[in-house]
Structure 1
Amino acid sequence: MGWTWTLEDSLGEVKGRSEEFESRGDAESWVGEEFGALLEQGIDQVRLFDDETEVYGPMSLHASTDS
């Protein structure tokens, strides 16, 4: 069992999946380090999975526009 991200466009269409990580912390660190590159690749949001169970998401990779 491992932790992975689904990589999605703004409509929620899955464009790929991350590598598998041993821990949630490793997965969260990876997305924190890679979000700029993911945006450049057209990824707008991600979902975190523990094996096949969705833990949370969708999480936007874009800056919040809230005031």
Structure 2
Amino acid sequence: MRRVEVGAWVRIDDCPLEYSVIRDEIEFRVGDGCDGLDLVFTERGLANLLAEGADALHAVHTAREPADT
């Protein structure tokens, strides 16, 4: 299954993150109470997010480093 069922824009900063493993899926809760977002990943989907997220974090850190002259 290669599809996105819902498109959304979300900005995540310093907020609570929790996860639950339900059978073969991982459910992340971002935020709390009525002010939250649930994301459900398969194992492969979560692995892809973590790999791309690590690359993105590295790119942000690299962009902040002063250029060598």
TM-based fold match above 0.5:
no
The structure in which a higher percent of residues are helix is: 2
Larger RCO (alpha carbons 8 Å, 6+ apart): 1
TM-score (norm 2): 0.26
Larger radius of gyration: 2
TM-score (norm 1): 0.26
